[in-house]
Amino acid sequence: MKFDAIKFDRRSLLKSGLAASVASQLACDKGTEAAAPLTPGDLSSARADFPRSTNGVYMNHASQHPVSLQTARVMQRYADYLANDCTRAEWYELSEEAKTFANARKNEVKQLFGKLINAKPEEVAFCLSTTVGENIVANGMGIQELRGNVVTNDLHYSSCLYNYKVRQAQGLDVRIVKHKDWQLDPADFEKVVDGNTKLVALTLVSNVNGLLAPVKEIAEIADRNGAYVYADIIQACGAVPIDVKAMGIDFASCSTYKWLMGLRGFAYLYVREDLQGTVVKPTEFGGGVGFNYRPWVETPDPTKDEITYNSKTGASRYEVGNVSSVGAVCQYEALNFIERVGVDAIQAHATPLTDYLQEEMPKIGYASITPKGNRSPITTFRVPDPKEAERRLKQANIEVTLRFGNQMRVAVSVMNNQQDVEALVKALA
Nearer to ligand PLP, 100 or 129 (CB): 129
Of 116, 426, 84, nearest in space to 261 by CA = 116
- Interface characters, 188-217, with ligand PLP (x: CB under 6 A): ---------------x---x----------
Residues 50 and 334 sit within 8 Å (Cβ to Cβ): no
Residues sharing a CB contact under 8 Å with residue 285, sequence separation 6 or more, in sequence order: 320
Using CB under 6 A as the binding rule, whether residue 268 contacts ligand PLP is answered as no
Closer residue to ligand PLP, CB minimum distance, 68 or 129? 129
232 contributes a contact to ligand PLP by CB under 6 A: yes
CB of 352 to ligand PLP, least distance (A): 24
Classify residue 299 by its DSSP letter: S
Instruction: Tell me whether residue 9 or residue 232 sits nearer to ligand PLP (CB atom).
Output: 232
By C-alpha distance, which of 117, 109, 202, 187 is closest to 151? Answer: 202
Task: Tell me the window of 11-19, 114-122, 232-240, 411-419 that interacts with ligand PLP (CB under 6 A).
Answer: 232-240
* Residue 255 touching ligand PLP (CB under 6 A): yes
Question: Can you state the percent helix, strand and coil of the chain, rounding each to 5?
Answer: 45, 15, 40
Residue 135 binding ligand PLP, by CB under 6 A:
no
Cα separation values, 58 from 20, 67, 366, 401, Å: 18, 13, 19, 10
Q: Minimum distance between the CB of residue 69 and ligand PLP, rounded to whole angstroms? A: 24
Stretch binding ligand PLP (CB under 6 A), from 78-86, 220-228, 229-237, 313-321: 229-237
Taking the least distance from each CB to ligand PLP, the nearer of 69 and 233 is: 233
What's the rounded Cα separation, in Å, for the pair 317 and 425?
A: 49
Cα-based distances in Å from 90 to 95, 98, 366, 399:
11, 11, 60, 47
Among 68, 71, 129, 401, binds ligand PLP (CB under 6 A): 129
Considering only residues 144 to 183 of the shown chain, the ones binding ligand PLP according to CB under 6 A are 157, 159
**413 contacts ligand PLP (rule: CB under 6 A):** no
Q: CB within 8 A of 207, min separation 6: which ones?
A: 62, 157, 234, 235, 378, 409
Query: Applying CB under 6 A, does 130 fall inside the site for ligand PLP?
Result: yes
Residue type, 205: V
Can you tell me the distance from the alpha carbon of 290 to that of 297, in angstroms, rounded to the nearest whole number? 10
Spatial contact of 403 and 409, defined as CB atoms under 8 Å apart: yes
Pattern 81-120, ligand PLP, x by CB under 6 A:
----------------------------------------
Residues making contact with ligand PLP (CB under 6 A): 129-131, 157, 159, 203, 207, 232, 234-235, 255, 267
